[in-house]
Amino acid sequence: MSDSLPPPQFTANTVPLSVWKRPVRRTRLVWIAAVICAVWTSGLLGVYVGARIEKQNAPDAFHNSPVPVVLGKPRTGAFEQRLDVAAVTTALRPSVVSVSTDVRDSGQTGQGVGTGIVLTNDGQILTNAHVVAGATQVRVRLAGEGNPRIAKVLATDPGHDLALLAVGATGLIPATLADPANVRVGDEVLAIGYALDLDGEASVTLGIVSALGRTIRIDAGALDGLIQTDAAISSGNSGGPLVNAAGEVVGINTAVARSDATNTATSIGFSISMEQAIPEIAVLRSQASGTHRNEGYIGIGLSERTDGGEGAVVASVIAGLPADNAGIVELDVIVAIDGQQIDGGAGVIAAVRGHQPGEQISVVVERGGSKRTYLVDVIERPTEVG
């Protein structure tokens, strides 16, 4: 008799118990070893990822860039050819980023999305202030990258709806900002941005410059010098570029007119012009370096005209403040400030806020059918005014 057993024979659906027991014990040992290896590997991966994040979030990764922005050259005539959508889009994509936020308000949490523009090759980005308002964390996803980077808000100016961000990155491709005089009514333009947070790359829409020098009211006051465009702008486009045929950024997309019970709005979007944005970038950088930001104030309340005329009605004057001291009274209609025509209350707010305390402005008012000019000192806007 042989001292060895013949090899077991297996048939379909039968596994002898005596043969199955040892492989089960081995399999358990293999699984235990695999789990230990996985935990160990995950620990190392966590340390690695944590180190990367820590390095990315290090203070020197979020510096206020000294690199100047790239400015376009002035032009003297209209563009000779129509805007090449594919070529301009290809050129601008590396300079357009997605901005996502975690927001907490009144105990509720949520997420937001917008768009940003690369200003410098060392990670400085421009977007709208309302895109990052109330954010507990801001992330930026650069072109060509699948994962977002943590970003730091260096400075914000809700009154001009602009914010400066920084990410820990180098070798970026900055956008070219158009010469402020280079935009004209009728120019073809593209709006590029992460509309509605749709999957994939940024959306591109084509339109024209419909008007210049528009003024609108926002929660923080008013925006003036805006570009009006019929290029489609949607939620998520905020902070993205409005681009001309030369591939230069002529505006920062910021708002869209919406229909209400009494008005119908179709294809009316607004962008912050380079005339407003370029000097504001310098102010934001200064603010990021610790300089206190001052905004102008003269001590009046305003209401809109209801008779179809231009200008803004002085609804109230605070005693002892500059407007009162200069001689402006209730029911005066402000029609110009420093030679610039005023179309409504938003224009007054924007014009005054743009001046520094200690400066003096010329205010033209209509009273009793005649115009009068007053020189009004500007003081710092009180915090409680908002």
Provide the pLDDT for residue 77: 83
Q: Are strands 300-304 and 296-297 parallel, antiparallel or unpaired?
A: unpaired
Reply yes or no on whether 187 is catalytic: no
Percent of the chain topping pLDDT 70: 83
| pLDDT > 60? residue 56 | no
pLDDT digits (tens, 9 = 90+) for 231-265: 999 999 999 999 999 999 999 999 998 888 788 88
Among residues 56, 76, 104, the one where a domain terminates is 56
> Long-range contact list for 106-112, CB < 8 A, 24+ apart?
none
Domain of residue 190: give its range. Answer: 183-273
C-alpha 3/C-alpha 106 separation (Å) is: 81
Provide the pLDDT for residue 260: 81
Do 318 and 350 fall within a single domain?
A: yes
Better-predicted residue by pLDDT, 225 or 62: 225
Do 325 and 266 fall within a single domain?
A: no
pLDDT digits (tens, 9 = 90+) for 91-142: 999 999 999 999 987 778 899 999 999 999 999 999 999 999 989 999 999 9
In a domain, 319, yes or no: yes
In a domain, 98, yes or no: no
Do 269 and 300 fall within a single domain?
A: no
| pLDDT > 50? residue 214 | yes
Identify the weakest region by mean pLDDT among 12-16, 84-88, 281-285, 371-375: 12-16
Mean pLDDT of all residues belonging to the chain: 83
pLDDT digits (tens, 9 = 90+) for 269-297: 999 999 999 999 999 999 888 877 778 89
In a domain, 235, yes or no: yes
In a domain, 3, yes or no: no
Do 367 and 333 fall within a single domain?
A: yes
C-alpha 321/C-alpha 271 separation (Å) is: 34
Q: Which amino acid is at 153?
A: V
| pLDDT > 60? residue 328 | yes
In a domain, 86, yes or no: no
Task: Please provide residue 301's backbone torsions phi and psi, each rounded to the nearest 5 degrees.
Answer: -110, 150
> What is the mean pLDDT of the segment spanning 188-199?
93
Provide the pLDDT for residue 385: 66
Do 326 and 268 fall within a single domain?
A: no
- 92-127 burial: b if 16+ Cβ within 10 Å, else e: bbebbbbbbbebeeeeeeeebbbbbbbbbebbbbbb
Task: Please provide residue 154's backbone torsions phi and psi, each rounded to the nearest 5 degrees.
Answer: -80, -40
C-alpha 273/C-alpha 350 separation (Å) is: 14
Catalytic residue, candidates 130, 210, 234, 343: 130
Reply yes or no on whether 355 is catalytic: no
Better-predicted residue by pLDDT, 221 or 39: 221
pLDDT digits (tens, 9 = 90+) for 68-88: 999 999 988 888 889 999 999
Among residues 214, 238, 273, the one where a domain terminates is 273
Do 258 and 307 fall within a single domain?
A: no
Catalytic residue, candidates 100, 210, 234, 238: 238
Do 311 and 361 fall within a single domain?
A: yes
In a domain, 89, yes or no: no
Provide the pLDDT for residue 292: 75
The residues with which 375 forms a beta bridge, in sequence order, are 362
Tally of domains within the chain: 3
CATH number for the domain spanning 248: value is 2.40.10.10
Do 312 and 269 fall within a single domain?
A: no
Do 198 and 232 fall within a single domain?
A: yes
Reply yes or no on whether 161 is catalytic: yes
How many residues are present in the chain?
Answer: 386
In a domain, 374, yes or no: yes
Catalytic residue, candidates 161, 187, 224, 343: 161
> What number of other Cβ atoms are within 10 A of residue 188's Cβ?
19
Helix%, strand%, coil% for the chain, nearest 5:
25, 35, 40
Better-predicted residue by pLDDT, 298 or 386: 298
In a domain, 381, yes or no: yes
The band of 21, judged by pLDDT with boundaries at 50, 70 and 90, is very low
The band of 381, judged by pLDDT with boundaries at 50, 70 and 90, is confident
